[in-house]
Amino acid sequence: MASRRSTQTDGNASIANISRTRRAQLVAEFEGELGIDYKARAAAAEAERRWIARKTFIVWTIALLFFAIACQKLWLMGQDVDRPFSAINPIESWF
């Protein structure tokens, strides 16, 4: 005697086999019934991605600026040394 398959797995399989477009339509309809504005949510997500990109750019710019200043100060300190192993005062050269 053959055993019958569970209807729940058949239902899950049918949900997994629907197209992405239809799945997006179903989600949009469901969100619309709940009062969720998916366009506003997508716009907010895009704004968040832009803000993260801007923050990353600003942080890297500041880091590279500090690195360039430090390299230039080290180079100037090296130019100020008149003989090897002489005393270097880094605080004095900052100003």
Q: Which residue has the higher pLDDT, 4 or 51?
A: 51
Instruction: Compute the average pLDDT of residues 53-77.
Output: 94
Question: Is 31 within 8 Å of 38 (Cβ atoms)?
Answer: yes
For residues 8-34, average pLDDT: 72
Q: Which two tokens stand for residue 42?
A: 């997508």
pTM of the model: 0.49
Answer for the pair 68, 76: CB distance below 8 angstroms, yes or no.
Answer: no
**Three-state DSSP string of 15-44:** HHCCCHHHHHHHHHHHHHHHCCCHHHHHHH
Residue with more model confidence, 92 or 28: 28
Which band of pLDDT confidence, cut at 50, 70 and 90, is reported for residue 32?
confident
Whole-angstrom distance, CA of residue 7 vs CA of residue 13: 10
Is the pLDDT assigned to residue 77 strictly greater than 60? Answer: yes
